[in-house]
Amino acid sequence: MTIKCKKCNHEAIIFQKYSGMHLCKRHFIEDVERKIRLTVRRDYSIKKNDIIAVALSGGKDSSVALYVMHKILGNRPDIQIVAISVDEGIYGYRPQSLELAKKLTETLGVRHIIRSFKDEHGTTMDELAAMDREKGTCSYCGVLRKSILNRIALEIGATKLVTGHNLDDEAQTILLNHFRGDMERMVRLAPPATVEGLVMRAKPLRNIPEKEVALYALVNSLPVDFSECPYAGEALRGEIRELLNSFETKHPGTKYSLLRGFDKLVGALAKELPPAKIEKCRICGDTCTEDICQACKLLGRT
């Protein structure tokens, strides 16, 4: 039996348990783009002559973020969109996703900058993973990638740096910080403020569930790499992902509730926790909150 879209007479391709709606392809795409437009307008107001950098890995989230931002803003002559990809040096994984990223930027006609860990930090993720180290591979990768993205965004004069964080990512991070009691990190998740030396982060997909991001990529035939990084597997985050997915199945809307509760709470939390003092790393000059940035610490620079 064919299930019809709640908004028209066409066949539905998705059932949103949290909203109770069956949606066809057209109305699903409209629903995703409506939520993204609302998020951008409310949290990241686009101004005239903005240069918007988009962190593009070639995976579903970053590819959808670039595609939708281009769809929303690509026709504005005063707005420039630039994709930035980071090659971490992960054999058998990153090369194929970078090729898909190149394909997408060529299709959209978007300028594409690619930098590598090797060029910027003198090492690769494979080399770091093989070393004796205190932290997990994801900690190294995240810190080093962020430093490169911010550096390039500053070089091109970007006013915003878009990342592909979706609803699942945000809900997991909120719960993770609660479990760790890390309120300072919790405050940093709040809608962005301008900090000298750091390009303002924007997360247009923060209200879109991960499964809907994947479906959006598929129905729009985007060139996307769905494979998982061989170094993925942060134990606690993986457990939280399973926990949240279980709650979402039993109690649809759990992830949205976590995000909405956080958005209401974070303003009051920020008043109790003064912002960290901003400094310049005495080794590389990057903006940080101590005399040495996390990237330099992880790489053993003294």
Q: Are 282 and 291 in contact (CB under 8 A)?
A: yes
Q: How far apart are CA 224 and CA 189, in angstroms?
A: 27
The answer on whether 229 is annotated among ligand-binding residues is no
Q: Bigger pLDDT: 192 or 57?
A: 57
Q: How far apart are CA 207 and CA 190, in angstroms?
A: 14
The answer on whether 296 is annotated among ligand-binding residues is yes
At residue 107, the pLDDT reads 97
Would the pLDDT of 234 be above 70? Answer: no
pLDDT band at residue 193, thresholds of 50, 70 and 90? low
Average pLDDT of span 218-224: 97
DSSP assignment string, the chain: -PPBPSSSSSBPSEEETTTTEEE-HHHHHHHHHHHHHHHHHHHS---TT-EEEEE--SBHHHHHHHHHHHHHHTT-TT-EEEEEEEE---TTTHHHHHHHHHHHHHHHT-EEEEEEHHHHHSS-HHHHHTS--SS-HHHHHHHHHHHHHHHHHHHTT-SEEE----HHHHHHHHHHHHHHT-HHHHHTTSSP--BTTBPEEE-TTTTS-HHHHHHHHHHTT---B-PPPTT---HHHHHHHHHHHHHHHHSTTHHHHHHHHHHHHHHHHHHHSPPPPPEE-TTT--EESSSS-HHHHHTT--
What's the pLDDT tens digit per position in 239-256?
899 999 999 999 999 999
The answer on whether 164 is annotated among ligand-binding residues is yes
At residue 51, the pLDDT reads 97
Q: Bigger pLDDT: 24 or 276?
A: 24
At residue 217, the pLDDT reads 98
pLDDT band at residue 301, thresholds of 50, 70 and 90? confident
Q: How far apart are CA 281 and CA 124, in angstroms?
A: 22
At residue 194, the pLDDT reads 64
Would the pLDDT of 294 be above 80? Answer: yes
- The pTM is what? 0.93
What's the pLDDT tens digit per position in 26-70?
999 999 999 999 999 998 889 999 999 999 999 999 999 999 999
Strongest mean pLDDT among 220-224, 269-273, 281-285: 220-224
Q: How far apart are CA 178 and CA 77, in angstroms?
A: 43
At residue 241, the pLDDT reads 92
Residue with tokens 């080093």: 144
The 3-state secondary structure of 105-128, one letter per residue = HHHHCCEEEEEEHHHHHCCCHHHH
The answer on whether 281 is annotated among ligand-binding residues is yes
What's the pLDDT tens digit per position in 63-117?
999 999 999 998 999 999 999 999 999 998 999 999 999 999 999 999 999 999 9
User: What residue ranges do the domains of the chain occupy?
Assistant: 26-275
The answer on whether 263 is annotated among ligand-binding residues is no
% of the chain surpassing 70 pLDDT: 97
pLDDT band at residue 235, thresholds of 50, 70 and 90? low
At residue 157, the pLDDT reads 96
Give the HSE-up count for residue 70: Cα atoms under 13 Å, Cβ half-sphere.
19
The answer on whether 8 is annotated among ligand-binding residues is yes
Q: Bigger pLDDT: 272 or 18?
A: 18
Q: How far apart are CA 125 and CA 115, in angstroms?
A: 13
Superfamily of domain 26-275: HUPs (3.40.50.620)
Q: Are 159 and 51 in contact (CB under 8 A)?
A: yes
What's the pLDDT tens digit per position in 119-174?
999 999 999 988 887 788 888 898 999 999 999 999 999 999 999 999 999 999 99
